Amino acid sequence: MSSFDDFDAFEASSLSARAMAARPAPYLDGLNPAQRQAVETMDGPVLMLAGAGTGKTKALTARVVHLLMTGRARPNEILCVTFTNKAAREMKNRISGMLGQTVEGMPWLGTFHSICVKLLRRHAELVGLKSNFTILDSDDQLRLLKQLVQAAGIDDKRWPARQLASIIDDWKNRALTADRVPAADAGAYNHKGVALYKAYQERLRELNATDFGDLLLHMVTIFQTHEDVLDQYQRWFRYILVDEYQDTNVAQYLWLRLLASAHKNVCCVGDDDQSIYGWRGAEVGNILRFEKDFPGAHVVRLEQNYRSTPHILAAASGVIRGNASRLGKELWTEAQEGEKVRLIGHWDGEEEARWIGEEIEAMQSGTRRMRPFSRDEVAILVRASHQMRAFEDRFLNIGMPYRVIGGPRFYERMEIRDAMAYFRLVVSPSDDLAFERIVNTPKRGLGDKAQQTIQTIARANGVSLLDGAALAVEQGAIKGKGAKALGELVVGLARWGRMTGDAAMTHMELAEVILDESGYTAMWKNDKTPEAPGRLENLKELVKALEQFENLQGFLEHVSLVMDNESDEQGAKVSIMTLHAAKGLEFPAVFLPGWEDGLFPSQRSMDESGVKGLEEERRLAYVGITRAEEVCTISFAGNRRVFGQWQSQLPSRFVDELPEEHVEVLTPPGLYGGPGGGAAMGMGSVGSTLHDRAAEANVYNSPGWRRLQERQGQRPISQPRESTSTVIDLQAVSAYTVGERVFHQKFGYGSVEGIEGDKLEIAFEKAGTKKVVARFICAADDVPF
DNA sequence: TAAACGTGGCTTTTT
DNA sequence: GCCACGTTTA
């Protein structure tokens, strides 16, 4: 449980701000004028618009230090909010570094969620909770919702509980309690969404639990309904700082505005061009509206970039210019020119992976133009995680060490969650969700029926499932070996519970005892599947992780908020990750594969969110390019397997948006029409666009292919396209008739079965029936080689 | 109760 | 094409 005395903690704080005020301010020295302004404008609202690589964390930390040094606030009077634990940790470290001592006295520097937990534990009773409430993660949440959906007699095939979960999350992100869900949303989840939301909240209250969304929403509710509480914190938090403001959702926005509305000493840092989390409730509008929300706000733009070369910045700027709703920033740098952004097209996804693998290998020893890059200076950033596979396959094949960043986190792994459910049950025996999770894990012969019996008995007696289980055993309601096993579990849990108070045993030893005596470890030892050893390994790691905590409770509290898993894997490895995961990181050399319409920008994004979705995708492109310090290589493939089906792809519209003068089009080696290969480059005549040149430089270029394109009439590819709809290449399609015999470079010969938009459905002789974009097809008697 | 089989569905992901 | 989930089947 968190301490309730933070308000008095400042006396004992390790920092005495006033004593330091007299000293000089070396932390200001390394700042450029804009950064300095952001630091020194202390009163009133400040919006720090910090482009990629412009030193925003530096400015933010300097601001905190400045507030302390000038005596404007004591360490525990500064509210400093980040989104991730990683960011919070980094800020703490940097502040300590600037101050030359550890920051003990900044209890209110943390993530939105961790700060809200602290606040909510103090005021839980105001929303009907006890201060020791538990925090459910999305897994628990889903299980709970499934039960409710089932109880309501809804066919969860047609209306998956997962969907309900995301609807409720969305409402919570928008700060909507069940009674405030607007009429427009009444139809959600087969018109039962609101009712189930109510039922869910009711159930959470019974369980004395919250989900992640509640942490914020409850605090907003409390601030809105209890003026005295709000007033207390408005006074207490003299200065407020917010990192990544473009990622705030409505609930976080309201929370901040409520806290800041009295003194308005709020400094928000963000970059509207890097808002890439709209799909999970972030509102770019929050940052775009800042000056309206806080009249008289000082807006400071950090535009000097310390990360990338001018070509890379120009390419990124060129792309992001396509977005209409922006605050507008233009990054500049004093860095030397460097390489242009490199663009290359490939035949298919596998070849793209092969080429990138070879390129990385070549880069390690350096080339005529480029310095050598070690593997850990290289990153491959993909739009969707399924793209990673091609690279993993390829890299495994050629023995290129790599690391995938992201993926399932440690605390999300099954065995870890099982183990923690045991711990939870030991610490709080009424944790029904934990009970359900482990009652039959390992197998105890307690199937659905037995579990139902337990449920019934527990409900009839108004007790927890664990107590219900004890009763069931006593009453003989469960028979056979299940009864014996259940009895042992109940007795075991009670025994382990008593052991928590045993001074003779550390909580690590206790954890081991629990896992061993419950039979959980044995379950994995007997498991012959290849994953089992790894899982045992993870369990060992889990026990090791306990070391840093005083007891199991402390550990569980921490884990529920900090799900991250900083793997300290070392060695020179190429990093592979999604664009989302790359935000905030930088690499000397970056590869951006899969720039194809439909994949990136993602079709679904555009279908579901139209222009808004496309703009977010474009920001993602911007984030991707700006991760690169020295070399940025963008690539696309003409064909890709999508859900097992081969599909022809068009290069991404973002490729068209790259300013030509900052891009160099590469030609894959060993393919038709290399540079100087005569005819191949011949088409780059007047009006040649980057896009045309990219297409020319790749594999679909050959004399026959060009003839084909001429026959079809040249498609004005680089004309600005409608942003939301795919342009249909009618000319290309109309060149064919149903029944015609055609040729495709990968699939061979086939006949046209149907025409749909710009795609042809073709029955190939060897490859089966596929839909292919007309431009990759030619008549069988016009085969290009 | 567990293994075998079939169906659908499918971005991004932190707390 | 793959994975997760649910249903059938031994």
Inside any domain, residue A232: yes
Q: Which nucleotide is nearest to A142 (CA to C1')?
A: C5
Q: Which nucleotide is nearest to A215 (CA to C1')?
A: B15
Q: What is the pLDDT of residues A729-775, one digit of tens each?
A: 334 455 667 777 776 655 667 777 776 655 666 776 655 666 666 65
Q: H/E/C letters for each residue in A227-253?
A: HHHHHHHHHHCCEEEECCHHHCCHHHH
Categorize the per-residue pLDDT at A542 as very low, low, confident or very high, splitting at 50, 70 and 90. Answer: confident
A204: phi then psi, degrees, rounded to nearest 5: -60, -40
Cβ atoms of A103 and A198 closer than 8 Å: no
Residues with Cβ within 8 Å of residue A98, at least 6 apart in sequence: A27, A61, A62, A65
Categorize the per-residue pLDDT at A8 as very low, low, confident or very high, splitting at 50, 70 and 90. Answer: very low
Number of structural domains chain A divides into: 5
Categorize the per-residue pLDDT at A405 as very low, low, confident or very high, splitting at 50, 70 and 90. Answer: confident
Structure tokens at A178: 């069940």
Give the CA A489 to C1' B3 distance in Å. Answer: 26
Give the CA A487 to C1' C3 distance in Å. Answer: 36
Residue closest to B14, CA→C1'? A84
**Same structural domain for residues A662 and A544?**
no
Q: What pLDDT is stored for residue A778 in this prediction?
A: 63
Of A47-51, A493-497, A666-670, A711-715, the range with the lowest mean pLDDT is A711-715
Residue closest to B11, CA→C1'? A384
Give the CA A195 to C1' C10 distance in Å. Answer: 42
Categorize the per-residue pLDDT at A141 as very low, low, confident or very high, splitting at 50, 70 and 90. Answer: confident
Q: What pLDDT is stored for residue A566 in this prediction?
A: 59
Cβ atoms of A209 and A434 closer than 8 Å: no
Cβ atoms of A174 and A248 closer than 8 Å: no
**Same structural domain for residues A594 and A623?**
yes
Give the CA A592 to C1' C3 distance in Å. Answer: 26
Inside any domain, residue A260: yes
Inside any domain, residue A333: no
Give the CA A160 to C1' C6 distance in Å. Answer: 13
Structure tokens at A453: 């019996």
Q: What is the distance between the alpha carbons of residues A667 and A647, in angstroms, rounded to a whole number? A: 22
Residues with Cβ within 8 Å of residue A470, at least 6 apart in sequence: A490
Cβ atoms of A510 and A500 closer than 8 Å: yes
Q: What is the pLDDT of residues A676-690, one digit of tens each?
A: 332 222 222 233 445
Question: Which residues sit opposite A636 in a β-bridge?
Answer: A345
Q: What is the distance between the alpha carbons of residues A770 and A207, in angstroms, rounded to a whole number? A: 52
Q: What is the distance between the alpha carbons of residues A622 and A318, in angstroms, rounded to a whole number? A: 9
Of A558, A583, A606, which residue constitutes the final position of a domain?
A: A558
Q: What pLDDT is stored for residue A745 in this prediction?
A: 59
Q: Which nucleotide is nearest to A641 (CA to C1')?
A: C1
Q: What pLDDT is stored for residue A441 in this prediction?
A: 83
Inside any domain, residue A43: yes
Cβ atoms of A320 and A73 closer than 8 Å: no
Give the CA A346 to C1' B6 distance in Å. Answer: 37
User: When comparing pLDDT for A325 and A17, which is higher?
Assistant: A325
Exposure string over A312-344, b if 16+ CB within 10 A, otherwise e: bbbbbbbbbebbeeebebebebebeebbbbbbb
Q: Which of A77, A214, A244, A359 is catalytic?
A: A244
Q: What pLDDT is stored for residue A558 in this prediction?
A: 82
Whether A722 is catalytic: no
CATH number of the CATH domain containing A535: 1.10.486.10
Q: What percent of chain A has pLDDT over 70?
A: 82
Q: Which nucleotide is nearest to A161 (CA to C1')?
A: C5
Q: What is the pLDDT of residues A597-613, one digit of tens each?
A: 999 999 888 888 888 89
A442: phi then psi, degrees, rounded to nearest 5: -65, 170
As annotated, the binding site of A includes 50-57
User: When comparing pLDDT for A757 and A35, which is higher?
Assistant: A35
Of A2-16, A163-177, A225-239, A642-656, the range with the lowest mean pLDDT is A2-16
Residue A187: which domain range?
A: 135-206
Give the CA A635 to C1' C2 distance in Å. Answer: 25
Structure tokens at A639: 């064909």
Give the CA A148 to C1' C8 distance in Å. Answer: 26
Half-sphere exposure of A606 (CA within 13 A, CB side): 17
Chain C bases having any atom below 7 Å from a protein CB: 1-2, 6
**Same structural domain for residues A771 and A696?**
no
Q: What pLDDT is stored for residue A511 in this prediction?
A: 92
Inside any domain, residue A670: yes
Q: What pLDDT is stored for residue A711 in this prediction?
A: 30
Inside any domain, residue A310: no
User: When comparing pLDDT for A765 and A337, which is higher?
Assistant: A337
Is the minimum distance from the CB of A644 to strand C below 7 Å? yes
DSSP state of A478: S
**Same structural domain for residues A254 and A398?**
no
A396 has a pLDDT exceeding 80: yes
Inside any domain, residue A212: no
Is the minimum distance from the CB of A643 to strand C below 7 Å? yes
Q: What percent of chain A has pLDDT over 90?
A: 48
Inside any domain, residue A726: no
Residues with Cβ within 8 Å of residue A4, at least 6 apart in sequence: A122
Task: Work out the angle between the directed axes of helices A507-517 and A532-545 (0-180°, nearest 10).
Answer: 150
Is the minimum distance from the CB of A687 to strand C below 7 Å? no
A318 has a pLDDT exceeding 90: yes
Q: What is the pLDDT of residues A88-131, one digit of tens each?
A: 999 998 898 888 776 667 899 999 999 999 999 999 999 999 99
Q: Which nucleotide is nearest to A83 (CA to C1')?
A: B14
Q: What is the distance between the alpha carbons of residues A373 and A364, in angstroms, rounded to a whole number? A: 5
**Same structural domain for residues A473 and A521?**
yes
Q: What pLDDT is stored for residue A764 in this prediction?
A: 65
Residue positions counted in chain A: 785
A330 has a pLDDT exceeding 70: yes
Whether A596 is catalytic: no
Give the CA A299 to C1' B12 distance in Å. Answer: 30
Structure tokens at A479: 């028979």
**Same structural domain for residues A618 and A684?**
yes
Of A558, A581, A608, which residue constitutes the final position of a domain?
A: A558
Q: What pLDDT is stored for residue A679 in this prediction?
A: 29
CATH number of the CATH domain containing A222: 3.40.50.300
Q: What is the distance between the alpha carbons of residues A667 and A15, in angstroms, rounded to a whole number? A: 60
Q: What is the distance between the alpha carbons of residues A132 and A128, in angstroms, rounded to a whole number? A: 12
Residue closest to B8, CA→C1'? A157
CATH number of the CATH domain containing A161: 1.10.10.160
A244 has a pLDDT exceeding 90: yes
Q: What is the distance between the alpha carbons of residues A651 and A691, in angstroms, rounded to a whole number? A: 8
Is the minimum distance from the CB of A162 to strand C below 7 Å? no
Q: Which nucleotide is nearest to A157 (CA to C1')?
A: C6
Report the alpha-carbon angle A8-A9-A15, nearest 5. 135
Q: What is the mean pLDDT of chain A?
A: 82
Exposure of A302 by Cβ count < 10 A (0-12 exposed, 13-18 middle, 19+ buried)?
Answer: buried
Categorize the per-residue pLDDT at A782 as very low, low, confident or very high, splitting at 50, 70 and 90. Answer: low
Task: State mean pLDDT over A207-217.
Answer: 93
Q: What pLDDT is stored for residue A772 in this prediction?
A: 65
Q: Which of A41, A57, A163, A304 is catalytic?
A: A57
Range of A114-128, A452-466, A547-561 with top mean pLDDT: A114-128
DSSP H or E segment with residue A583: none
Q: Which nucleotide is nearest to A646 (CA to C1')?
A: C1
Whether A56 is catalytic: yes
Cβ atoms of A305 and A331 closer than 8 Å: yes
A544 has a pLDDT exceeding 50: yes
Give the CA A186 to C1' B13 distance in Å. Answer: 27
Task: State mean pLDDT over A431-441.
Answer: 87
As annotated, the binding site of A for ATP includes 50-57
Of A526, A558, A590, which residue constitutes the final position of a domain?
A: A558
Q: Which of A35, A56, A633, A656 is catalytic?
A: A56
Q: What is the distance between the alpha carbons of residues A103 and A92, in angstroms, rounded to a whole number? A: 7
- Residue labelled with tokens 């005569």: A678
Q: What pLDDT is stored for residue A744 in this prediction?
A: 63
Categorize the per-residue pLDDT at A563 as very low, low, confident or very high, splitting at 50, 70 and 90. Answer: low
Chain B bases having any atom below 7 Å from a protein CB: 1-2, 9-15
Of A22, A24, A62, which Cα lies nearest the Cα of A41?
Answer: A62
Q: What pLDDT is stored for residue A774 in this prediction?
A: 65
Residue closest to B10, CA→C1'? A643
**Same structural domain for residues A285 and A265?**
yes
**Same structural domain for residues A449 and A577?**
no
Give the CA A449 to C1' B1 distance in Å. Answer: 11
Q: Which of A77, A169, A243, A271 is catalytic?
A: A243
Whether A243 is catalytic: yes
Q: What is the pLDDT of residues A273-308, one digit of tens each?
A: 999 999 889 999 999 999 999 999 999 999 999 999
DSSP state of A650: P
Is the minimum distance from the CB of A408 to strand C below 7 Å? no
**Same structural domain for residues A473 and A527?**
yes
Q: What pLDDT is stored for residue A477 in this prediction?
A: 85
Q: What pLDDT is stored for residue A717 in this prediction?
A: 31
**Same structural domain for residues A574 and A704?**
yes
Supply the DSSP string of A543-556, one letter for each residue.
Answer: HHHGGGSSSHHHHH
**Same structural domain for residues A603 and A701?**
yes
Residue closest to C1, CA→C1'? A644
Supply the DSSP string of A5-44, one letter for each residue.
Answer: -GGGGGGG-S--HHHHTTS--GGGTT--HHHHHHHH--SS
Whether A453 is catalytic: no
Residue closest to B7, CA→C1'? A157
Q: What pLDDT is stored for residue A687 in this prediction?
A: 33
Q: Which of A248, A274, A309, A712 is catalytic?
A: A274
Residue closest to B2, CA→C1'? A443
**Same structural domain for residues A550 and A417?**
yes
Of A388, A217, A352, A267, which Cα lies nearest the Cα of A636?
Answer: A352
Is the minimum distance from the CB of A641 to strand C below 7 Å? yes
Q: Which nucleotide is nearest to A451 (CA to C1')?
A: B1
Q: What pLDDT is stored for residue A119 in this prediction?
A: 96
Q: What is the pLDDT of residues A487-539, one digit of tens each?
A: 999 999 999 999 988 878 888 899 999 999 998 888 888 877 777 777 888 88
User: When comparing pLDDT for A357 and A697, which is higher?
Assistant: A357
A263: phi then psi, degrees, rounded to nearest 5: -95, -20
Cβ atoms of A273 and A622 closer than 8 Å: yes
Q: Which of A58, A192, A375, A627 is catalytic?
A: A627
Task: State mean pLDDT over A378-396.
Answer: 92
